[in-house]
């Protein structure tokens, strides 16, 4: 009897479970508008111009062979914050805006140079936004960038973003630029952040871009536009061939935007991204082209891979840290235009030292540049931090101000592999 | 008008009404058999409603022994008995004047000694039927003839001889139809009690296998047998089974399914608590493990207790197949069970509450497909699930020749049409179909039913509060299951309470030579099943357990 | 014995493990980030060692009373009155912990899952489920956690594999964080991560092998605590952690296996919710059972309902998140070490003294 009673009680309670439910937060999947890209520009007054790029699932999933260009739509609203923007877009669109599938958040350079802290905070505290969303800065208007993306190879613009911004796994042309990293770097005192800088200028307008960005760093930036020219004796030929053949293709990556705290203070040109990747231990696959060991004017392309992390040795000298960086890379000779026999040890050694010199100059340039901005974008402060026992001591060092005074010794060690299935030799006839 | 009304009234009077019954005169069967045959005959014809009940046979005979004629009466139910046996081995022997006792030799023997005991002579010398026994009460007589025996009354004797003449109509042993296996014995139980015990005995050739007889039912008694191997099974389990069956008081019992409900621990728990099988090999393997089986007369399903959750998920095939194959089956069965309970609930809670979990490409595919569907996802899912249940139920009930039609109509046409009419999105059809198919990986249909019910609970919970709802459901379900026992064994053993050997036979399966112990929760008399090394021929260092 | 029946070793271990999850997913890491900064993982290790030593000593003393719970020990130490006082203190503590956990979880679930729902709705869902759990019985709860615990461990391992690439060992430096004395003196007291271990004092008579269970429970809790702290403080860097009041949840948001499996935090939330149900059910059931024991109540079902309603009402009073956090800090950081270590220690010492006195006076063993 007792058992029966408690059973009835349990049943009643179970029933009330369903009854008390108001189905809050229940949203039909097809009644939501999935935002895949958010762009923010400076608007009128205190407002921002927030652009929402919304995918059209019906078109994305249909079988017709459309490319991604027609599969999204954009809305731009003027609102002081993302939250207000959401409700404004809700009024514009027939469906409710959902931010859980945002793949790209892009700010205009202008906005970034003011201050981004408020925006980043609101993004990071938004539960629905993925912390690994890509954050980027656009040289021009973010709205235009979102409107004019050209996903040729895929029908879904979301997949386009995902694949595009994972390209640091394949090339040394872009770097990881995740929201959570950006947020951590802006709040920390031991490092500063560098995120992707995008440009939506067409390839014909490149000279314009270089002029603009030339203010920050003349020599480096001009080199990427003039294919084949060498800046310092040995230089890259193949590294700047990212322009596509198509007329409308954009130059997507234009280097990295450097932040001091949450303010953008400068940019790192694209050819120094590899140094950034090396110093942050994230070089997955990189290429470098150097002059041949024997024959002048001939080039050799080397595939680089970072198998060991960089070793940072920090010594404090009169409160100024001196940092020895040991970089260890593995290289594979992929192609060379010369007939030099790289199975020969001597030739190989010459080539290796060429590569090492090249990388060393790149890294040195990178450090010089970041020191000129006084931003520790590579996060070297994390290794400086290890030298201290307590947080207070480290805080006293004021690393984010000391960075420009720090001394760096760079040591590059490349382990070159010359192994191929077929050694192609053309004898000099 | 008035006429019509009158007519109406008239008609009304003629209408048949069930009258309140008068209590039927009950005859006490608990009487001893009278010495007078006429008295007995009179009483029995009243008791058996002869000749009102037309399948009762009363056969008056004269038994001729030693030239002396005794009046006799043979009673049986036509149809339940084998008339050939009665004709050839009872009537002919009894009525034959030339039987052995009527020859001159025997006469001389009998002359010297008067007939000491008519019963002995008839039983031992005349009747050539294999089982003859004497009973002294009418109750026993009736019980036996209802089971297909024949009762022989002799004038002047206060007993009745029960001759085994059973020939109860039924089908012959066929393939088990519900629990399908590719490998292993295919025979299934039938409705015949004796055949079923024989089928079990065929697999367990052990003199310690006991079929203990118990009877259930007040109006008609149904014979049941508690089967156990007395040298293995734990006595307290057997006692408990006996106690529960003896404590059942119902007027009749038709099938083991009814007995199952009468003796199970909890009625309102959704998962089955007693294993019901129609495969003798399965019963045998469980008996050898130390469990107790209950065979019910007239039922082709045998109950096995105690049963734990993992028993229901196992097929008997698992131990017949080679270890890697069986392992693969087990590994695939687990996610299938998970899917069959949770998939629709998960789907609806993810789609309605946790859209961020769906990979973007898939999300666009689902959203695109749902664009033209007018219903909410819950309605859509319920439509599909209910349709699926109806089709399944219909295909069981339809006569076999039409069953295929239902399948085709249900799956192909309905599925195709419902999608093209934009009532249900194609992805949901995939979900429901996958769930439905997953249900059938377990061979136990009782578990299937429980999955089907639970699935609806989880759909509702998922639709009301997403993963929170699922968490509530899982928590309550887990608590209910873990607090349940089946004949003293916690239902989720060996998972909760955790016991050794989860991986041996419950979650996964180990090679057959690794099954060294009987399940520990049964607390058997012989806990060790086979020696540590069961492949003694393997002369390598570690013996059979090496590989 | 507070409730009937014996518990298997793993049932205890798993239950204590599941209960430890609650402070880990709630604010313990944030508190420790506040107190110890970058040395939080070191703190976790250190407090584990401290807690291990303290509980080892405590259980050594307690081992005389293995088939008695702490109430019986209190009765030996100070008669009926002390038993009542102890019982009421334990009930008060359990109820407070339940109220705080309910209101804190309530707030978090509302932020994570139901930002549109009124918070009473979530509280009701919680409390009804917990009431059902209470009515089903403690045995079921203990066993249910044996099923949940392996999934928790699998979850931790899965998290570990997904997050290993993002672990940055420099996040553990500077090694001593906010100061050596803070860490080693302050940290020795802040052992509230192990508060669920004190449940053993209540269920000791129901455990067959007390020493083994206690040891393994400790390791289970240590595993959860250390791996959680390692992941949280390895992946997230210090200053930003102090602003994060649900770091473990944020951590699960970072999990991704390739492009297809992302944002699986809801699955972890599902596991934690079940763990919360277990935590609350055990808290409420034990409060009622202790009351039942000290006041000899026969039918305790109605008290379960009343206790659930009380917890619900009190959790409704405590709605401001800041207040909840303050309350949590007071109760679980400052109060709980007193209650789980110091108080039992005093009771056991008193009981020992009484015992030895009794033994001297009369030479028969006390029961």
Q: Specify the CATH number for the domain of residue C202.
A: 1.20.1740.10
pLDDT at B200: 93
Beta bridge mates, A74: A53
Q: From the CB of residue B300, how many other CB atoms can be counted at a distance below 10 Å?
A: 21
pLDDT at B441: 84
Give yes or no for residue B229 having a pLDDT over 90. yes
pLDDT at A360: 92
Name, of A15-19, A175-179, C309-313, the range with top average pLDDT.
C309-313
Q: Which of A287, A265, A376, A394 is closest to A336 using CA atoms?
A: A287
Residue B49 pLDDT class (50, 70, 90 cuts) = confident
Residue C164 domain-assigned (yes or no)? yes
Distances (CA, A) of B344 to A304, B359, B473, C240: 48, 18, 14, 39
- In chain B, where the domains are located: 37-163, 193-307, 322-490
Q: What is the count of structural domains for chain C? A: 1
* End-to-end Cα, chain C, rounded Å: 14
**Going by C-beta distance under 8 Å and a sequence separation of 6 or more, which residues neighbour residue C80?**
none
DSSP labels, C217-262: HHHHHHHHHHHHHHHHHHHS-HHHHTT-S-HHHHHHHT-EETTTEE
pLDDT at A174: 83
pLDDT at B294: 94
Q: Kindly report the length of chain A.
A: 429
- Rounded average pLDDT per 10-residue block, chain C, 367 residues: 81 91 89 89 92 90 83 86 91 92 90 84 88 89 90 91 88 85 86 88 87 91 92 88 86 85 88 93 92 85 90 88 88 88 88 82 55
Residue C204 domain-assigned (yes or no)? yes
Q: From the CB of residue B375, how many other CB atoms can be counted at a distance below 10 Å?
A: 16
Gap from C48 CA to chain B (nearest CA, Å): 27
Radius of gyration of chain B (CA): 32
Q: Which of C128, C143, C249 to mutate to test the interface with B (most CBs of B within 10 A)?
A: C143
What is the distance of C-alpha A297 from the center of its chain?
Answer: 33
Give yes or no for residue A69 having a pLDDT over 80. no
pLDDT at C357: 81
Residue A391 to residue A387: CA distance in whole angstroms: 11
Residue B367 contacts A, CB cutoff 8 Å: yes
Using the beta-carbon criterion (under 8 Å), do B367 and A27 form an inter-chain contact?
A: no
Gap from B279 CA to chain C (nearest CA, Å): 31
pLDDT at B284: 92
Residue A358 to residue A288: CA distance in whole angstroms: 9
Instruction: Tell me the helix, strand and coil percentages in chain B, rounded to 5.
Output: 50, 15, 35
Whether the CB-CB separation of A156 and B362 falls below 8 Å is answered with no
Whether the CB-CB separation of B50 and B58 falls below 8 Å is answered with yes
pLDDT at C181: 86
Residue B52 corresponds to which tokens in the numbers above?
Answer: 């009102």
pLDDT at B209: 92
Residue B457 contacts C, CB cutoff 8 Å: no
pLDDT at B116: 58
Residue A273 corresponds to which tokens in the numbers above?
Answer: 């991204």
Gap from C173 CA to chain A (nearest CA, Å): 5
Return the C-alpha torsion angle A223, A226, A232, A233, nearest 10. 160
pLDDT at A239: 40
Whether the CB-CB separation of C244 and C30 falls below 8 Å is answered with yes
**Three-class secondary structure of residue A164 per DSSP:** helix
Question: Which residues form the domain of C212?
Answer: 9-352
Whether the CB-CB separation of B438 and B343 falls below 8 Å is answered with yes
Residue C261 contacts A, CB cutoff 8 Å: no
- Read off the pLDDT of residues B452-505 as tens digits, 9 standing for 90 and up: 899 999 998 898 888 999 999 999 999 999 989 899 898 988 887 877 777 777
Give the residue numbers in A contacting C (CB under 8 Å), as ranges.
Answer: 6, 9-10, 13-14, 16-17, 20-22, 24-25, 100, 127, 130-132, 162, 166, 180, 183-184, 187-190, 382-383, 385-386, 388-394
Residue C262 domain-assigned (yes or no)? yes
- Mean pLDDT for chain A overall: 79
pLDDT at A226: 36
Which residues of chain B lie closer than 8 angstroms to C129, CB-CB? 472, 475-476
Residue C85 corresponds to which tokens in the numbers above?
Answer: 């006082």
pLDDT at B22: 81
- When CB atoms are compared, the residue of A18, A29, A57 closest to B464 is A18
Give yes or no for residue B9 having a pLDDT over 70. no
Residue B369 contacts A, CB cutoff 8 Å: yes
Give the pLDDT mean for A94-119.
Answer: 89
Residue A235 to residue A220: CA distance in whole angstroms: 11
Which residues of chain C lie closer than 8 angstroms to B466, CB-CB? 113, 266
Report ipTM for this prediction. Answer: 0.94
**Element holding A49 (H helix, E strand):** strand A48-55
Distances (CA, A) of C221 to C21, C194, C213, C224, C306: 9, 7, 12, 5, 31
The pTM for the full model equals: 0.88
Q: Which of B496, B501, B521 to mutate to test the interface with C (most CBs of C within 10 A)?
A: B496
pLDDT at A206: 44
Residue A146 corresponds to which tokens in the numbers above?
Answer: 């979102």
The label of the residue with tokens 């805006």 reads A97
Residue C357 domain-assigned (yes or no)? no
Using the beta-carbon criterion (under 8 Å), do C11 and B498 form an inter-chain contact?
A: yes
Residue A345 contacts B, CB cutoff 8 Å: no
Residue A402 pLDDT class (50, 70, 90 cuts) = confident
Residue A118 to residue B533: CA distance in whole angstroms: 71
Residue C56 domain-assigned (yes or no)? yes
Gap from B266 CA to chain A (nearest CA, Å): 10
Whether the CB-CB separation of B240 and B487 falls below 8 Å is answered with yes
Whether the CB-CB separation of A149 and C199 falls below 8 Å is answered with no
Sign of CA dihedral C26, C31, C37, C41: negative
Q: Which residue has the higher pLDDT, B40 or A231?
A: B40
pLDDT at B14: 66
Give the residue numbers in C contacting B (CB under 8 Å), as ranges.
Answer: 8, 10-11, 109, 113-114, 122, 125, 129, 132-133, 136-137, 139-141, 143-144, 146-148, 259-264, 266-267, 269-270, 273-274, 277-278
Residue A291 to residue C328: CA distance in whole angstroms: 66
Which residues of chain C lie closer than 8 angstroms to A158, CB-CB? none
Residue A321 pLDDT class (50, 70, 90 cuts) = confident
Against chain A, the chains showing at least 3 CB pairs within 8 Å are B, C
Radius of gyration of chain C (CA): 21
Sign of CA dihedral B7, B10, B14, B19: positive
pLDDT at B178: 81
Residue A17 pLDDT class (50, 70, 90 cuts) = low
Using the beta-carbon criterion (under 8 Å), do B479 and C267 form an inter-chain contact?
A: no
B68-77/B132-135 β-pairing: unpaired
Residue A420 pLDDT class (50, 70, 90 cuts) = low
Residue C109 domain-assigned (yes or no)? yes
Distances (CA, A) of B51 to A36, B56, B382: 89, 7, 58
Using the beta-carbon criterion (under 8 Å), do B463 and A26 form an inter-chain contact?
A: yes
């Amino acid at each position: 009897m007792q058992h029966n009673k408690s059973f009835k009680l349990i049943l009643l309670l179970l029933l009330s479970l369903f009854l008390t439910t108001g189905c809050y937060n229940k949203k039909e999947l097809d009644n939501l508008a999935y935002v895949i890209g958010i762009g923010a520009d400076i608007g009128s007054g205190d407002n921002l111009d927030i652009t929402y790029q919304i995918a059209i699932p019906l078109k994305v999933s249909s079988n017709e062979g459309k490319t991604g260009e027609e599969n999204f739509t954009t809305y731009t609203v003027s609102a002081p914050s993302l939250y207000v923007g959401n409700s404004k877009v809700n009024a514009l669109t027939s469906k409710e805006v959902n931010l859980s599938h945002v793949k790209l958040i892009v700010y205009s350079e202008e906005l970034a140079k003011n201050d981004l802290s408020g925006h980043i905070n609101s993004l990071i505290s938004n539960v629905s936004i993925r912390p690994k969303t890509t954050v980027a800065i656009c040289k021009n208007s973010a709205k235009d960038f979102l409107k004019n993306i050209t996903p040729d190879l895929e029908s879904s613009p979301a997949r386009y973003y995902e694949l595009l911004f994972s390209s640091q796994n394949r090339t040394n042309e872009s770097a990881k630029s995740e929201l959570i990293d950006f947020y951590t770097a802006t709040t920390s005192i031991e490092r500063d952040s560098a995120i992707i800088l995008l440009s939506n200028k067409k390839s014909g307008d490149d000279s314009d871009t270089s002029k603009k960005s030339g203010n920050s760093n003349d020599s480096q930036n001009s080199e990427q536009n003039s294919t084949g020219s060498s800046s310092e004796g040995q230089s890259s030929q193949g590294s700047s061939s990212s322009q596509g053949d198509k007329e409308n293709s954009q130059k997507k990556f234009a280097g990295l935007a450097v932040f001091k705290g949450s303010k953008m203070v400068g940019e790192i040109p694209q050819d120094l991204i590899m140094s950034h990747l090396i110093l942050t231990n994230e070089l997955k696959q990189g290429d470098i082209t150097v002059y041949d060991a024997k024959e002048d004017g001939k080039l050799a392309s080397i595939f680089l891979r970072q198998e060991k992390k960089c070793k940072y040795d920090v010594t404090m000298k009169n409160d100024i840290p001196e940092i020895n960086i040991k970089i260890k890379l593995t290289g594979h000779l992929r192609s060379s235009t010369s007939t030099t026999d790289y199975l020969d040890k001597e030739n190989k050694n010459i080539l290796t030292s060429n590569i090492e010199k090249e990388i060393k100059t790149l890294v040195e340039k990178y450090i010089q540049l970041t020191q000129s901005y006084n931003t520790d974008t590579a996060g070297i402060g994390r290794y400086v931090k290890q030298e201290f026992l307590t947080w207070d001591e480290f805080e006293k060092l004021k690393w984010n101000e000391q960075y420009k005074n720090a001394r760096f010794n760079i040591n590059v060690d490349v382990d070159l592999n010359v192994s191929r299935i077929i050694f192609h030799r053309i004898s000099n006839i | 008008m008035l006429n019509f009304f009158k007519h109406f009234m008239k008609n009304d009077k003629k209408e048949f009404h069930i009258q309140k019954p008068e209590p039927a005169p009950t005859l006490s069967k608990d009487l001893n058999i009278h010495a007078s045959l006429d008295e007995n005959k009179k009483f029995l014809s009243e008791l058996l409603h002869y000749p009102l009940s037309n399948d009762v046979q009363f056969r008056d005979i004269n038994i001729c022994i030693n030239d002396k004629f005794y009046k006799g009466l043979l009673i049986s139910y036509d149809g339940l008995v084998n008339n050939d046996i009665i004709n050839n081995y009872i009537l002919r022997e009894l009525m034959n004047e030339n039987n052995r006792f009527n020859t001159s030799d025997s006469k001389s023997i009998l002359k010297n000694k008067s007939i000491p005991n008519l019963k002995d002579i008839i039983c031992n010398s005349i009747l050539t039927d294999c089982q003859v026994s004497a009973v002294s009460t009418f109750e026993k007589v009736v019980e036996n003839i209802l089971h297909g025996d024949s009762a022989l009354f002799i004038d002047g004797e206060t007993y009745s001889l029960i001759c085994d003449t059973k020939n109860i109509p039924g089908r012959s042993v066929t393939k088990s139809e519900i629990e399908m296996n590719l490998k292993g014995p295919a025979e299934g139980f039938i409705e015949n009690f004796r055949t079923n015990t024989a089928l079990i005995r065929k697999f367990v050739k052990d003199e310690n296998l006991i079929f203990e007889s118990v009877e259930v039912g007040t109006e008609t008694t149904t014979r049941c047998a508690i089967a156990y191997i007395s040298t293995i099974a734990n006595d307290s389990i057997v006692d408990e089974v006996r106690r529960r069956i003896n404590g059942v008081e119902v007027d009749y019992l038709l099938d083991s399914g009814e007995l199952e409900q009468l003796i199970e621990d909890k009625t309102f728990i959704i998962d089955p608590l007693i294993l019901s099988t129609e495969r003798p090999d399965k019963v045998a393997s469980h008996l050898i493990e130390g469990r107790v089986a209950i065979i019910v007369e007239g039922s082709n399903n045998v109950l096995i207790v105690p049963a734990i959750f993992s028993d229901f998920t196992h097929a008997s095939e698992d131990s017949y197949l080679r270890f890697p194959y069986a392992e693969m089956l087990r590994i695939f069965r687990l996610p299938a069970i998970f899917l069959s309970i949770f998939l629709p609930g998960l789907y609806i809670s993810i789609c309605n509450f946790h859209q961020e979990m769906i990979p973007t490409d898939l999300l666009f595919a689902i959203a695109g497909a749902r664009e033209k569907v007018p219903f909410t996802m819950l309605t859509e899912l319920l439509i599909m699930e209910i349709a699926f249940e109806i089709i399944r139920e219909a295909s069981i009930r339809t006569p076999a020749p039409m069953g295929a039609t239902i399948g085709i109509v249900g799956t192909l046409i309905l599925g195709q049409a419902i999608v093209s009419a934009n009532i249900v999105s194609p992805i949901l059809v995939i979900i429901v179909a996958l769930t439905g198919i997953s249900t059938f990986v377990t061979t136990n249909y009782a578990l299937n039913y429980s999955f089907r019910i639970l699935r609806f609970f989880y759909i509702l919970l998922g639709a009301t509060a997403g993963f929170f709802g699922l968490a509530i459901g899982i928590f309550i379900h887990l608590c209910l299951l873990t607090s349940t026992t089946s004949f003293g064994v916690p239902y989720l053993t060996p998972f909760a309470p955790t016991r050794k050997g989860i991986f041996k036979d419950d979650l996964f399966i180990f090679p057959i030579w690794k099954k060294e112990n009987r399940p520990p929760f049964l607390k058997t008399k012989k806990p060790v099943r086979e020696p540590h090394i069961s492949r003694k021929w393997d002369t390598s260092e570690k013996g059979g357990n090496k590989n | 014995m507070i409730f009937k029946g014996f518990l298997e070793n793993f049932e205890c271990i798993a239950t204590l493990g599941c209960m430890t999850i609650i402070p880990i997913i709630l604010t313990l890491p944030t508190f420790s980030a506040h107190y110890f900064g970058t040395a939080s993982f070191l703190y976790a290790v250190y407090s584990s060692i401290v807690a291990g030593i303290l509980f080892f000593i405590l259980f050594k003393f307690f081992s005389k009373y293995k088939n008695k719970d702490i109430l019986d020990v209190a009765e030996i130490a100070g008669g009926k009155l002390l038993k009542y006082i102890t019982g009421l203190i334990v009930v008060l503590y359990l109820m407070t912990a339940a109220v705080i956990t309910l209101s804190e979880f309530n707030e978090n679930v509302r932020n994570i899952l139901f930002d549109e729902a009124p918070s009473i709705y979530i509280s009701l869902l919680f409390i009804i489920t917990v009431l059902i759990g209470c009515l089903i019985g403690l045995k079921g709860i203990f066993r249910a956690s044996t099923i949940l615990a392996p999934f928790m461990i699998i979850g931790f391992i899965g998290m570990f594999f997904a997050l290993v690439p993002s672990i940055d060992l420099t996040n553990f430096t500077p090694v001593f964080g906010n100061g050596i004395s803070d860490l080693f003196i302050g940290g020795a007291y802040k052992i509230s991560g192990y508060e669920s271990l004190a449940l053993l004092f209540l269920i000791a008579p129901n455990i067959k092998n007390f020493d083994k269970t206690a040891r393994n429970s400790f390791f289970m809790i240590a595993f959860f605590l250390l791996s959680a702290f390692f992941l949280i403080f390895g992946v997230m860097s210090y200053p930003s952690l102090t602003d994060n009041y649900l770091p473990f949840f944020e951590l699960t948001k970072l999990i991704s296996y390739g492009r297809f499996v992302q944002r699986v935090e809801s699955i972890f939330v599902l596991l934690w919710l079940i763990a919360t149900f277990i935590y609350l059910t055990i808290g409420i059931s034990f409060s009622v059972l202790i009351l039942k024991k000290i006041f000899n109540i026969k039918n305790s079902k109605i008290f379960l309902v009343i206790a659930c309603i009380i917890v619900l009402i009190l959790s409704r009073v405590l709605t401001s998140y800041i207040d909840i956090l303050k309350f949590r800090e007071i109760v679980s950081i400052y109060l709980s070490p007193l209650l789980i270590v110091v108080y039992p220690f005093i009771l056991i010492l008193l009981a020992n003294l009484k015992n030895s006195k009794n033994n001297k006076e009369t030479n028969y063993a006390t029961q």
